[in-house]
Amino acid sequence: MSSTTNELIQVTCAIIVDNGRILAALRSRQMSQSWKWEFPGGKIDKGETAEECVIREIKEELNILITVSESLTPTIHSYPDKTIELIPFICSIKEGTVTAVEHEKVSWFSLEELKSLNWADADLPVMEEFVKRQVVKV
Ligand SMILES: Nc1nc2c([nH]c(=O)n2[C@H]2C[C@H](O)[C@@H](COP(=O)(O)OP(=O)(O)OP(=O)(O)O)O2)c(=O)[nH]1
pLDDT tens, position by position, 8-48:
999 999 999 999 999 999 999 999 999 999 999 999 999 99
Q: Which domains can be identified in the chain, with CATH numbers?
A: 8-137 (3.90.79.10)
Most ligand 1 atoms within 8 A of CB, residue of 32, 37, 81 to mutate: 32
In one-letter notation, the amino acid at residue 27 is R
pLDDT tens, position by position, 49-84:
999 999 999 999 999 999 999 999 999 999 999 999
Model confidence, pTM? 0.93
Cα separation, 92 vs 38, in Å, equals: 17
21-26 and 37-38 strand pairing = antiparallel
Q: What is the ipTM of this complex?
A: 0.89
Which residues contact ligand 1 via a Cβ below 6 A?
A: 11, 13, 31-33, 38-43, 84, 86, 120, 122-123
Measure 133 CA to ligand 1 centroid, in angstroms.
Answer: 24
**How does DSSP classify residue 123?**
G
CB-based burial of residue 119 (10 Å sphere; 0-12 exposed, 13-18 middle, 19+ buried)?
Answer: buried
